[in-house]
Every structure is written in C-alpha cells, then in structure tokens.
Amino acid sequence: MAKSLSLPSRPFNSPSSSIGTHLSQPPKISCSSISIQSQSPKDQLLALISDQERGLKTQKSPQKLASIVKSIDALASLAPNSVTTDDSLSATWRLLWTTEKEQLFIIEKAHLFGTQAGDVLQVIDVKKKSLNNVITFPPDGVFFVRSSIEVASSQRVNFRFTSAVLRGKNWEIPLPPFGQGCTIVSFIPPKNHGHVKTGVRFYLLHVDRCLILLCLRL
C-alpha cells in the first residue's frame, strides 16, 4: 500500500513502477479555457490530474505522467527549505493522485468484490508518532494499515508498518504488516490573506520512487 505525496526538494525525474475524521468532499478540480501553461504551478498540477482517476489513467499514458512530473518539479522550488514535519503534518489527508501500483490495483479491482473504492485517506499524528493508511469501500468495508513514524529531519519522516486488516460489515481478516522506509514531505501552501491561511492544503509525498498527492480541506 502506498506510504504517502510529498514534493521532493530536488527534481523527481523517473518514477517507477494513506480511520479518522471523515473529510468533506475535496474541491472540484477542472481545466478552464485558459491554457494549462498560463496557470500557476499548483493550479497546473491540479488541472493535469483532474481527469486521471487518482492515477489509474496515468498508468497508460507516459506523456501525461511526464507532464505531471514536470509540474511537480516546478512546485518543488516554491518552498524547498520549509519545515514540513512539524504539527502541521498532523491531519487526515485525502488522496488525489498517485503512482503507487499496489494502491491503484486495489482501487481498480474493488469491483471484483461487488464494491468500489471510496475515500483513500492518510491519518497522521506527529506527536503520537502514528500514520494510518485507509482505503474505504462503502458502505461497510475498509482496508486499514497502521504505521509508526519518526521525524528524521525538517522534511523527512521514517516509517514502519505495524499491522494491517481488511474489514467488512461482520468480518475482518488480519494481514501481516511489512515494509519500512522514509518519506520526503514537501508543502504546497494555501493562499495567504494577512495572517490567515485559506483554501486547501496539499502535501506531495515521495516514497520509494512513488508519488502521492494528498489534500486537506481547511
């Protein structure tokens, strides 16, 4: 399962082959008549992923993937030295797009079990050193992976999976946890109005050469 999306502090050139408070629906992302090239880097990225079904379509389009990665590289320069592993990381984040194959496989094949993937969430608590990845299958199903985390630097978090469970209405199947690694976290800031930040907060995570874009409605 995908570990998490951060904007890498350096360009990402060759990508390869997460239960908390339910978030409200994310803002609708759509391309306007203005060309993508004339948009801000953040708006350009959101426009590029708007029709990609959280990354399912991107798997079949190397050209689209290259455009998205180029947009990510542009965003990486916005705040390369910011601290992104403090309490601002603690929240429930919604998946917008990813290249992580295992997560996309679950999203794509959910219909084989008579359901479809709902929200894909990542619940992070820096103080409690926890990170939970959640894929929901409405109305009753959920795939839940718990992890412990350790802040390693201003933009790096180490993680280790501790448990996993696939749960339905009246049943659950525990699964063995596996995997560990690190996440490079970059922050795409919302708009500032004086001292008040409004809009949507985004994190782009770079984990094991996979990219994941997460958003949180403020």
Q: Where are the domains of the chain?
A: 42-217
145 versus 80: the higher-pLDDT residue is 145
Could you report how far apart the first and last alpha carbons of the chain are, in Å? Answer: 26
| pLDDT of 8 higher than 50 | no
CB atoms within 10 A of CB 24: 8
Residue 16 has φ and ψ, to the nearest 5°, of: -110, -175
The amino acid at residue 169 is K
The tens digit of pLDDT for each residue in 182-207 reads: 787 876 655 544 444 445 677 888 87
Which pLDDT band holds residue 36 (cuts at 50, 70, 90)? low
Element (H, E) at 150: strand 141-153
CB atoms within 10 A of CB 32: 10
Range in 81-85, 90-94, 146-150 with the lowest mean pLDDT: 81-85
Helix, coil or strand: residue 36: helix
Instruction: Round to whole Å and give the CA distance between 190 and 24.
Output: 17
C-beta separation of 20 from 122 below 8 A: no
What does pTM read for this prediction? 0.75
The tens digit of pLDDT for each residue in 112-170 reads: 878 899 999 999 999 999 999 999 999 999 999 999 999 999 988 999 999 999 998 89
C-beta separation of 2 from 210 below 8 A: yes
Contacting residues for 79 by C-beta, under 8 A, at least 6 apart: 186, 187, 189
